[in-house]
Structure 1
Amino acid sequence: MQERRIIELEGGWSFMEKGITKLKNILEGEAEEQFSAEQYMMLYTTIYNMCTQKPPNDYSEPLYTKYREAFSTYISERVLPALKEEQNEFLLKELHKRWNNHKVMVRWLSRFFNYLDRYYITRHSLHSLNDVGLLRFRDDVYTQVKQRAKDAMLVAIEQEREGEQIDRSLLKNVLGIFIEVGMGTMDAYNLDFEQHLLSTTSEYYKKKAASWIAEDSCPDYMQKAEDALRMEEERVTNYLHVDTKAKLLTAVERELLEHYETELLEKEHSGAAALMRDDKKADLARMYRLFARVTKGLEPVANIFKKHVEGEGTKLVLQVTEALNNKKDKDSGKPSKDTGSGSQEQTYVKTVIELHDKYLEYVTECFSSSSLFHKALKEAFEAFCNKQVGGLASAELMANFCNTLLTKGGGEKLTEDAVEDMLDKVVKLLAYISDKDLFAEFYRKRLSRRLLQDKSASDDHERAVLTRLKQQCGAQFTSKMEGMVTDLALAREKQQAFESWQRQNSKSSPLDLSVTVLTTGFWPAFKAIDLALPQEMVDGVALFKEFYEETVKHRRLTWYYHSGLATIRGNFKQKPIDMLMSTTQAAVVLLFNSEEKLSFSEIRERANLPEEDLVRILHSLSCSKYKILAKDPPGKAPGKNDTFAINMAFTDRMRRIKIPAPPQDERRKVMENVDQDRRHAIDAAIVRTMKSRKVLQHQQLVLEVVQQLQRMFQPDIKQIKKRIEDLIQREFLERDANQPNTFKYVA
């Protein structure tokens, strides 16, 4: 077997240089044939043989050095001179060309020297052939040209910002070099390009912002800012590294939005307040999108939104208050007792609903249902919805509004769905009202009237409202109201049982009698009087009492005549007229069946009515729209010395009329009830708190009581202090002997 011939370093490298020169010529575009398979194998085999010869003829180390030097020689002779001559875009193109050539050279040489990679480099933990080639380009080319290349790219980017067309793919390719020379890190890209890009971007948009803020309206400025941000995002997509996106956009946002936010939002005639005033939803949506990018950038927008909504609401309160005051002046300073029917109050609630719909739409459409803007809307509505409107609380007006919707023929003609929708919106508005207990009391009062006088337009609507109220305010809020609805259904069954009992026992009432039996705890407090009923009514009441005592044990009936209704026929000169009136009114009118004239005192004595009630009843019968009784002497109000007689000349175009109920200040009664309930609620909250805590300082006690009660009403601090003092007197609490501001629970 013949021994392999030793290849000396000089001779072997001389052969390799010919192959490397051929490769360089090919890269430079000179006339040179491509490597054949035979040539490639000869070059590879030469390196293989030189690396596998026995020492001292193993030339792996010097070949590794010469491999590195081959790149340096080519770079110094060909690459750097070519790059030195070029500027701007031409420099970038040449750099990209030389980088591509370099990668081809690395690929071919690493194949020729492949045996070094497989054994020598691995054994000695050296840079791979590929890395050596990359390092040579980084150290010999990139370090020389990076400054000029960076400047050329920044110039191109600014040209593009100014609307010129540039070669985006070229920038992408050159930036790829900045990334690859980092050898697995972004250090070169970040330090040699990105930092300078961010700096020049800030400077560019700083100048633009100063120009735009001086010349443009707020919407125009925002349009330009949004376009700029979109273009910068496209820039990242097209040629910048994805990691640059957040930093680049932050720099633009800082210069265009953060630095000019206050000035932009408060621009006269076109700032945020003006956009809201003019319903510029598209611009407001853009404002939200832009300032959502800035840390806490939406807070000033939300504050302006809150002020605007509160201002609109307050303006409405003032307008309605002024209209109500003007109406009172026209009515000689006599305010209407029936607050439920006032058109201004109805208009107020309806307009508040429209405002809420409008600005809720702003929150959802313009402000992406942001919790910050929901909060601003809530605070704005709380601010003006809890103001007095012409001396009336919004809670009362809302209860009256619901009453109008739920009463037969109560208001404008609406479809079932429209009524349902309107009621739903009123209940939602209730969330902004601090005096929910006031609403509950007024609503309960109106509900009782609708139920007892059969004025409810829809049982389904009544139940639907109670369901919504229950969901929003809790079961305790609606328990009495639900009890009233159930109670009335039971009362109807009781009436049917009464009629059945009469038939079975062959008993009949002298009049068509219908009795509604109610449970005291559910209904508002009714005034009980010992009315002297006409004989026809006496017999009917006695008959029902007999039935009730037979069928119900251990319960006592109390008759509330003020809440009853009666239909009586008046045989007047022109024609008979059926009149629907209260039981107390009917009792007074029926007295004149046996007497032509009766004095005030005679009526009071025979009917057994309190004087204040009789004055109101006689007023409704002799001084209102329907003058059933003639008063002598004539006047605007009944007096104690007046006499009354049936007004036989009375007539009306209708054969059936409804006599208005005696006027009374129901509102004052409701307010008194609410005030009393609040005192009880405060007492209960104080005792409940002290019972669990035993000892508590004054300030902490007040705070905890307020927190417990504010779901239903906003308790007055002075009232809490009074209730504490009252509970001390009643020996539920006591002061600490050493600390007067500390209270103890007395078990």
Structure 2
Amino acid sequence: MSLLINIDASLSCWLLYTAVSWAWGIRLTLIKMNERKTINLEQGRDFMQKGITKLKNILEGLPEPQFSSEEYMMLYTTIYNMCTQKPPHDYSQQLYDKYRESFQEYITSTVLPSLREKHDEFMLRELVKRWSNHKVMVRWLSRFFYYLDRYFITHRSLPPLNEVGLACFRDLVYTEVNGKVRDAVISLIDQEREGEQIDRALLKNVLDIFVEIGMGQMECYENDFELSMLKDTAAYYSRKASNWILEVSCPDYMLKKVQNELLSVYATQLLEKEHSGCYALLRDDKVVDLSRMYRLFSKIPQGLEPISSMFKQHVTAEGTTLVKQADDAASNKKAEKRDVAGLQEQALKEAFEIFCNKGVAGSSSAELLATFCDNILKKGGSEKLSDEAIEDTLEKVVKLLAYISDKDLFAEFYRKKLARRLLFDESANDEHERSILTKLKQQCGGQFTSKMEGMVTDLALAKENQSHFEEYLSNNSNVSPGIDLTVTVLTTGFWPSYKSFDLNLPAEMVKCVEVFREFYQTKTKHRKLTWIYSLGTCNINGKFEPKTVELIVTTYQASTLLLFNLSDRLSYQEIMSQLNLSDDDVIRLLHSLSCARYKILIKEPNTKTISPTDTFEFNSKFTDKMRRIKIPLPPVDEKKKVIEDVDKDRRYAIDASIVRIMKSRKVLGYQQLVMECVEQLGRMFRPDVKAIKKRIEDLITRDYLERDKDNPNVFRYLA
């Protein structure tokens, strides 16, 4: 007999103990505070200055050991004590000023002189170094002065420490050098246009400063760099365009790295070139040239509009044809495997998504892709494919997933099917299972696959646990479950949620449960075991008059059959009462045992449906040519449950995203909040604007947000 259990760490006692210990810790701290000596302002400043000077020396590369935990705690504690002393010795305001002055002094005495003495590319390298050091300094000083952020700044509605530190660099450094930096960057870009090699990594790091210095806004990048860059680019390519347009084909023209003015002015003429324009590239499947076209035109305002009609119409028509073929096949019950390789090469993402996310025969693309993976990975699903062919197919599947909007829906469908493969030993190859998880992790991130990886790890640990259980039984001769018992212990958070009923087990099984529970308590007393009988299987001997047949059944089916060891005849109501199951489950059980292929029970009346007025008795004359048969339960459509679970998770994800955004921004308009929320969640699913609006209203009722009194379309974060 095989049963499955989910486990949940039961931490209530540990949490209670921690809470008590923590309360005592607070009490002791308060006693010490009452006894401590007052720290005067000069004494505290001198001590802090030593720490700040040490930090500056480290940033300048001078021989200085790193901060020890004791030094860090002493600095933090000193500042904490100076902020919590009774007036007039509460120096919170003076420390807030000292925090700002520390940056101003360092920038004025060290940073600006080092930048003023360098020019061009050398000045850019120095700026990148100084910006990086400044962010380190902000991070460390903000830790030392953290108590100010928690109380003083919050109560006074002052700018937080992190913002003050970055503002010092912006006001003193960026304001002075941004013009020189812009000119130096544009000069490097001009050099590359003329064929010279430049340091692109340096260029990226400098442009990141234009973005980061805006502290969440793009005005600095757009006003201080982008406008000048666009003017320079337009002037440069305007000089080149008049000659190129007459001499070369469309793909060669794009190879010149043309942008902005060049593409805007000649877009129609380029795209309609008879032998090398957009239609020709689509027709001839010139993927590299199409990719370049998309990339370059997307960089100019409305750049994609002139080509969108030709591009999307072509790809949509091709994709719609494929979908219609698949839908027709499904309607005729001639399901065909989807040509993953063919789909992958059809077009770029924007147009590809138009048909890639269309459903087929009532099933979403996410479900179809998960089912395709299951067919490849389970036993018998890929017997005709070599290992190399399977790996190649899995690689293409993962690439195709990039075009699926509802990646979270795919993940849940895939997790459900993976669970069945693992729990019922249906995986064809463990290496292929691990391989696709690695590919999915690379494509979608560690969070996407963390539960799936946990499931694989759980199975390995479960095997060890079973070995320990067998050792326990062999070492305790007085303890025996009476039946060969295999228990798979699972961690609740990794696996899909399963129904857990208080099934009234037969006496034989009750003993098994008790023996395993006693064994498990020898290992840990802080975990709660929940038995998932719906996933269990049992091998039982059916002693029929013709011969004995071994029956492979579920735990529910076994419990039902064992009732007939004590009674010759049972009604539907008696079976439901003795098992303590719902109507739906009892109907499925009795149908599998009396109406399907193997009629282990005789039903009165002899119909194909189960009714509450039916009665059942053991079919002693049952026989089969096989000595071992598996009696399946009617399948359950889990699609609705998966979709409901995903919708619930999406509500939590939208809530978390809104709170995360508002916690960072404090005040934000409705449209901007929706846009940022969509952008944050877009990697996993495409959130519905109505759903976001509903979650905002819910967060308002729960006092996470509030509407601005003067403008109802502006929201404020409530700490």
TM over 0.5: yes
| Distance in 2 of aligned mates of 1:511 and 1:742 | 66
Q: Provide, for residues 258-312 of structure 1, a one-character-per-residue CA deviation record: whole Å limited to 9, x for no partner.
A: 8976666599xxx9769967xx66xx699989999x9999998896455433322
**What is the match of residue 437 of structure 2?**
466
1:603 Cα deviation (Å)?
Answer: 0.6
Secondary structure of 2:629's counterpart equals strand
Alpha-carbon deviations, 1:446-496, whole Å to 9, x = none? 111111111111111111111111111111111111111111111110000
- 1:479 is matched by which residue type in structure 2? S
The structural deviation recorded for 1:656 is 2.4
Q: Give the letter aligned to residue 706 of structure 1.
A: V
Residue pair 2:666, 2:716 contacting (<8 A) in 1 also: yes
Aligned mates of 1:635, 1:389 — CA distance in 2: 35
Q: CA deviation at 1:594?
A: 2.4
2:561 maps to 1:561: no
**Separation (CA, whole Å) in 2 of partners of 1:585 and 1:525:** 21
Q: Which residue, 616, 634, 641 being the options, matches 1:644?
A: 616
From the superposition, tell whether residues 572 and 379 of structure 1 become closer, same or farther in structure 2 (CA, over 3 Å): farther
Q: Is the 8 A contact 1:386 1:393 kept in 2?
A: yes
Match of 2:534, SS state, is: helix
Q: 1 CA distance for matches of 2:422 and 2:354?
A: 34
Instruction: Tell me what 1:702 maps to.
Output: 674
Query: 2:519 aligned with 1:532, yes or no?
Result: no
Partner SS state of residue 527, structure 2? coil
TM-superposed CA distance for 1:503, in Å, is 0.3
1:354 alignment partner, one of 313, 322, 341 = 341
Q: Distance in 2 between matches of 1:488 and 1:289?
A: 44
Q: Secondary structure at the match of 2:531?
A: coil
Matched position secondary structure for 2:402: helix
3-state DSSP class of the match of 2:525? coil
Q: Deviations over 1:299-332 (max 9, x none)?
A: 98896455433322222222323443455xxxxx
Tell me if the contact between 2:282 and 2:290 (Cα under 8 Å) persists in the aligned partners: no
Q: 1:662 to 1:738 in 2, by over 3 A?
A: same
Query: Would you say the 8 A contact 2:271–2:278 is kept in 1?
Result: no
SS of match in other structure, 2:616: strand
SS at match of 2:453: helix
SS of match in other structure, 1:579: strand
1:394 paired residue among 346, 362, 365: 365
3-state SS in 2 of match to 1:558: strand
Contact 2:344 2:399 in 1 (8 A): no
Alignment counterpart, residue 246 of structure 2, candidates 233, 244, 251: 251
Specify every segment of 5 or more residues in structure 2 that has no aligned partner in the other structure, as ranges.
Answer: 1-239, 254-265
1:96-495 correspondence runs (5 A) = 250-253=245-248, 265=274, 304=310, 306-327=312-333, 344=335, 347-348=336-337, 350-351=338-339, 353-359=340-346, 376-411=347-382, 413-495=384-466
Structure 2 residue 474 is the aligned partner of structure 1 residue 503: yes
State how far apart, in whole Å, the 2-side matches of 1:515 and 1:473 are: 33
Letter in 1 for 2:519: F
What one-letter code is carried by the residue in structure 1 that aligns with 2:694?
A: K
| Letter of the 2:414 counterpart | Y
**Are 1:291 and 1:298, in contact at CA under 8 Å, matched by a contact in 2?**
no
Structure with larger RCO (C-alpha < 8 A, sep 6+): 2
| Alpha-carbon distance in 1 for matches of 2:554, 2:396 | 35
CA distance in 1, matches of 2:431, 2:289: 44
Residue matched to 2:689: 717
Offset, 1:611? 1.8
Distance 1:603 1:692, change over 3 A: same
Whole-angstrom distance in 2 between the partners of 1:291 and 1:744: 43
TM-score by length of 1: 0.57
Report the CA distance shift for 1:578/1:741 in structure 2 as closer, same or farther (over 3 A).
same
Of 547, 565, 570, the match for 1:593: 565
**In structure 2, what residue type is equivalent to 1:356?**
L
What is the alpha-carbon distance in structure 2 between the residues aligned to residue 647 and residue 453 of structure 1? Answer: 29
User: 1:635 and 1:264, CA in 2 relative to 1: closer, same or farther beyond 3 A?
Assistant: farther
Verify the 8 A CA contact 2:570 2:615 in the aligned structure 1.
Answer: yes
Separation in 2 of the partners of 1:390 and 1:325?
7
CA contact (8 A) 1:306 1:377 kept: no
In structure 2, how many angstroms separate the alpha carbons of the residues matched to 1:298 and 1:705? 25
RMSD, matched Cα: 3.4
Moved more, 420-429 or 654-663: 654-663
Could you list the per-position Cα deviations for residues 2-39 of structure 1 after superposition, in whole angstroms to 9, with x for gaps in the alignment? xxxxxxxxxxxxxxxxxxxxxxxxxxxxxxxxxxxxxx
Q: Distance in 1 between matches of 2:480 and 2:715?
A: 65
Paired position in structure 2 for 1:552: 524
Amino acid at match of 1:384: F
Partner Cα separation in structure 1 for residue 384 and residue 465 of structure 2: 34
Relative to structure 1, the CA distance from residue 275 to residue 681 in structure 2 (aligned partners, 3 Å threshold; closer, same or farther) is closer
Output the CA distance in 2 between the equivalents of 1:730 and 1:563.
Answer: 39
**TM-score, normalized by length of structure 2?**
0.59
Q: Distance in 1 between matches of 2:293 and 2:677?
A: 40
Give unpaired runs (5+ residues) of structure 1: 1-244, 328-342, 360-375
| Cα deviations by residue, 1:682-736 (Å, 9 ceiling, x for unpaired) | 0111111111111111111111111110110000000011111111111111111
Counterparts of 1:508 and 1:682, CA distance in 2:
51
Aligned to 1:7: none
Task: Please tell me the residue identity of whatever aligns with 2:426.
Answer: K
CA contact (8 A) 1:616 1:664 kept: no
Could you tell me which amino acid in structure 2 is paired with residue 398 of structure 1? L
Partner of 2:577: 605
Contact 1:577-1:657 at 8 Å conserved across structures: yes
Partner of 1:189: none
Counterparts of 2:511 and 2:597, CA distance in 1: 32
**For 2:437, what is the secondary structure of its paired residue?**
helix
The answer as to 2:636 corresponding to 1:668 is no
Q: Name the SS for the 2:504 alignment partner.
A: coil
Match of 2:659, as an amino acid? V
How many Å separate the matches in 2 of 1:290 and 1:691?
Answer: 39
What SS does the corresponding residue of 1:566 show, helix, strand or coil?
Answer: strand
Number of residues paired by the alignment? 460
Q: Distance in 1 between matches of 2:500 and 2:444?
A: 32
